[in-house]
Structure 1
Amino acid sequence: MAAKQLALRETTIPGLVLLDLPVHGDNRGWFKENWQREKMVALGLPDFGPVQNNISFNDKTGATRGIHAEPWDKFVSVATGKIFGAWVDLREGDSFGAVFTAELDPSTAIFVPRGVGNSYQTLADDTAYVYLVNDHWSAEAQGEYTFLNLEDETAAIDWPIPLDRAERSEKDLAHPRLADVVPMKPKRTLVIGANGQLGTALRSALPDADFAARDRVDLASAAPFDGIRWADYDTVVNAAAYTKVDEAETETGRRDAWAANVAGVAALARAAVEHGLTLVHVSSDYVFDGTEQSYAETDACSPLGVYGQTKAAGDAIVSTVPRHYIVRTSWVIGEGGNFVRTMASLAERGIDPSVVDDQVGRLSFTDDIAAGIRHLLETRPEHGVYNLTNEGPSMSWCEIAKLVYEGTGHDPARVSGVSTEEYFAGKRVAPRPLNSTLELGKLEAAGFTPRDAREALTAYLAEA
């Protein structure tokens, strides 16, 4: 056979990709690279991570198998012989019921995404059908299969050998017609830290996700993911963390911070690698020492205290996950107790506070963080670190407090400034970075621009 160039061809079913494979022959026979990850991924094939290789050998022409949609991806090829393949989209969505057919010989292969029904009919004796899959077979997984009858009138597959003359199994004869097929649902997103400020905002931004609060997933526990069935998910968002900055400097707090922010994150990263998940991990400005005017994603971490050290360690672990987004933020404001609500309460109660005026940065409203995370998951830019705060000029905590007083109808002059050193004099607290300004150019180049912090603050106060 004439050698082809390795190439990918799109089909009429989303994600179903036909491949031309170079086959090199001589007087002894032939050789081909049946699966070549580096070359195929470079051409655009998903890096689907196969874990099992199966071979189906068929003695006679006309053996017909399918239509089976399985809860994993498959890479199908032919070692010897020839097949007529038919694929039907049985996934939930607009393409449900779409059909694609093609003949496969040793010079052709096809990538079949999860939920696309796969079937074939042999066109030669002694045909060996080979397929790689990216999950291990289990009785539990078999319960998620979706099937379609080979004779379905809606699919109307034009089989080369009429089905009444083909070899079929009793099980295949009993499969339902398309009208009775329950579409396979897509894999979902799991959000950890569901009841925190960000987790609450993510409920609106990611309405189809599953949300796990601490009673279901506790990153500080010895087995944080007991009961989680990772096969149901393709993405996990970690919005959970130990965030008690000052308590982290105590003996008990230090242990708890490392348990949740490092050991728990390591367990999560390991699960993401093992199951091919995209991991979104929320980080902090506390990974920096605050001595620079602003921080880009490429700047080296230099944490001052235990909390920042644990967050930096967690970031380093997450960076080893092939598909990861580290979302680095600062000065988070959302539902529940936070600085803005505290200042608004002080204003209403007639209290004139002294507020730190030498720590500067930007507020990060959880609605904007959640929208930014949704944008990353929808557009899938290059993996890595993305700074995500609100836009606008950097402000001190004192300046923000004055804006809160003004925005709630009180005199901003009631707020006075004080240095960090003076404010915490005589108290056992964690060191704070004096400059927490994060550069946003990378995120904006990826297509997302957060609201200006002042605009977001005004809206937040109006809704409070």
Structure 2
Amino acid sequence: MTQGVETTPVPGLVVLRLAVHGDARGWFKENWQRERMVGQGLPDFGPVQNNMSLNVRRGTTRGIHAEPWDKLVSVATGKVFAAWVDLREGESFGATYWLEMDEGVTVFVPRGVGNSYQALEDGTVFSYLVNDHYVPGTVYPALHLADESAAIPWPIPLADADVSDKDRANPRLAEVTPMAPRRPLITGAKGQLGRALAALHPDATLVDLDELDLTDPDALAAWPWQDHDLILNAAAYTAVDAAETPEGRATAWAANAAAPAALAAIAARRGIPLVHYSTDYVFDGREVEGGHREDEPFAPLGVYGQTKAAGDLAVATAPKHYVLRTSWVIGEGHNFVRTMARLAADGVDPAVVDDQVGRLTFATELARATRHLVDTAAPYGTYHVTNGGTPRSWADYARRVFELTGHDPARVSTTTTEEYAAGKQLSPRPLHSTLCLDKLAATGFESTDADQALTDYLAHLG
């Protein structure tokens, strides 16, 4: 049990005063008690490895080392003088803090903060509980123990201390390359949604299939997940009709179900929030008053919808997850709105289905909702995200595109889904794709009206 949690001048560095129960036999303490410590403000950092170092002689001094993982440091036996220097990129670079530690003190050290200590008694044992595995041969930032800017007041002068040759060769602060912060990872970065997400996360790492194949276990295992604090999975197989073919079916299941499952396992193991994007195709398109809600049972009509539903279920196994279901996405690239604008300009009079009803979702709106949910720490779970306003048919939107681009909307004729599909190898389409936005609105997000967004989109097409 902790007796108190104290903050320090180094952001994220937290000191815990532990209750130590002693008698004539010795003492006992709860060195790591997840429920109580997290409840008092310690991050739920998910430790995976415990390291211990024995310091035979008083004066043994180790550090100053910064690693790309969080750690909970404590004394198993003896007493130490411990010091920390912030070696992370940012305004707090070079900030310091020190204190004396015995068995009653534990300190949480965030990723990138340099850790060091000096044994004040013979036979001191120091313990590290860390949330990533050590990789031999990897070099991380380090600082000289005698750095003048840190000015650590070592109780035992370093000239009299037992210091390794390696630590004596560590650089001064001016020569240290700060540890870069964790960054979001955006998969499917070349797609319409990926590009919109990248615009709102300029520091993100952008990958597509050629940089990271999410269906390749070896590629996933080799990826430096420790460098990321958020996964935005915009990668998907969206060839709805091709998914009904033998080759397309296998590809769709790999990309839309197996890959999200693999990402969910990684996110769960490393405590990384995972945002995944889904579709109205997980439902059968029956008309629902107010639109389909997040808890409606799945009833996909085709292979594409089946694989996306499987992906939704897999992602939900990650404790920190958002599944954002959407419909009729319009972004930078080939899409319905651009096609209608081109047909209008080329003098083509299209026949467009009028029995499929829903709302457009502009990729910028989906990206904006993503940023909102993450930044406000909205409760994890599934959310429906589209633009707002009155649901319309594809034919209605086509006429509106013609009108906004200066063409006669009467040039757009109508057809039914059944008539349009006659003689074609098409996947079945849900007829009613309107998604209820109440759950999203409850988080404080105001959806932009689809009609206004369409007007703005076409104005920027030139």
Mark yes or no: TM-score above 0.5: yes
Residue 177 of structure 2 is aligned to residue 192 of structure 1: no
Residue 91 of structure 2 is aligned to residue 118 of structure 1: no
Residue 49 of structure 2 is aligned to residue 52 of structure 1: yes
Structure 1 residue 226: Cα displacement = 6.8
| TM-score (structure 1 length as normaliser) | 0.93
The aligned counterpart of 2:73 is 76
The aligned counterpart of 1:457 is 454
Structure 1 residue 343: Cα displacement = 0.9
Contact 1:219 1:261 in 2 (8 A): no
Contact 2:280 2:327 in 1 (8 A): yes
The aligned counterpart of 1:338 is 335
Structure 1 residue 132: Cα displacement = 0.8
Structure 1 residue 6: Cα displacement = 4.3
Structure 1 residue 236: Cα displacement = 2.1
Question: Using the alignment, how far apart are the partners of 1:445 and 1:90 within structure 2?
Answer: 40
Contact 1:221 1:259 in 2 (8 A): no
Residue 12 of structure 2 is aligned to residue 30 of structure 1: no
Residue 212 of structure 2 is aligned to residue 217 of structure 1: yes
Question: Using the alignment, how far apart are the partners of 1:70 and 1:278 within structure 2?
Answer: 21
Question: Using the alignment, how far apart are the partners of 1:441 and 1:25 within structure 2?
Answer: 55
Structure 1 residue 39: Cα displacement = 2.3
Structure 1 residue 220: Cα displacement = 4.7
Structure 2 gaps of 5+ residues are none
May I ask how many residue pairs the two structures share in their alignment?
Answer: 459
Structure 1 residue 176: Cα displacement = 1.4
Question: Using the alignment, how far apart are the partners of 1:273 and 1:210 within structure 2?
Answer: 20
The aligned counterpart of 1:207 is 202
Instruction: Provide runs of 4+ in structure 1 moved above 4 Å.
Output: 220-224
The aligned counterpart of 1:177 is 172
The aligned counterpart of 1:8 is 5
Structure 1 residue 246: Cα displacement = 1.5
**Range with greater deviation from structure 2 (113-122 or 387-396):** 387-396
**Range with greater deviation from structure 2 (219-228 or 328-337):** 219-228
Name the SS for the 2:333 alignment partner.
Answer: coil
Question: Using the alignment, how far apart are the partners of 1:101 and 1:334 within structure 2?
Answer: 52
The aligned counterpart of 1:239 is 234
Residue 376 of structure 2 is aligned to residue 379 of structure 1: yes
1:10-63 superposed Cα distances (whole Å, 9 cap, x missing partner): 222111111122222233222111111222223332222211111112233332
Structure 1 residue 223: Cα displacement = 4.9
Question: Identity of paired residues, percent?
Answer: 59
Residue 391 of structure 2 is aligned to residue 394 of structure 1: yes
Structure 1 residue 123: Cα displacement = 2.7
Give the direction of change, closer, same or farther, for the CA distance of 1:31–1:220 in structure 2 (3 Å limit).
Answer: closer
2:324 to 316, 323, 327: 327
Question: Using the alignment, how far apart are the partners of 1:49 and 1:14 within structure 2?
Answer: 19
Partner amino acid, structure 2, of 1:242: Y
Give the direction of change, closer, same or farther, for the CA distance of 1:52–1:447 in structure 2 (3 Å limit).
Answer: same
Structure 1 gaps of 5+ residues are none
Contact 1:220 1:256 in 2 (8 A): no
Structure 1 residue 71: Cα displacement = 1.4
2:158 to 133, 145, 163: 163
Question: Cα RMSD between the aligned structures?
Answer: 2.0
Partner amino acid, structure 2, of 1:94: E
**Range with greater deviation from structure 2 (262-271 or 309-318):** 262-271
Name the SS for the 2:389 alignment partner.
Answer: coil
Partner amino acid, structure 1, of 2:273: T
The aligned counterpart of 1:254 is 249
| TM-score (structure 2 length as normaliser) | 0.93
Question: Using the alignment, how far apart are the partners of 2:334 and 2:355 within structure 1?
Answer: 23
Name the SS for the 1:437 alignment partner.
Answer: coil
Structure 1 residue 459: Cα displacement = 1.2
The aligned counterpart of 2:97 is 100
1:213-239 superposed Cα distances (whole Å, 9 cap, x missing partner): 222233455755375332332322211
Residue 406 of structure 2 is aligned to residue 409 of structure 1: yes
Question: Using the alignment, how far apart are the partners of 1:5 and 1:94 within structure 2?
Answer: 30
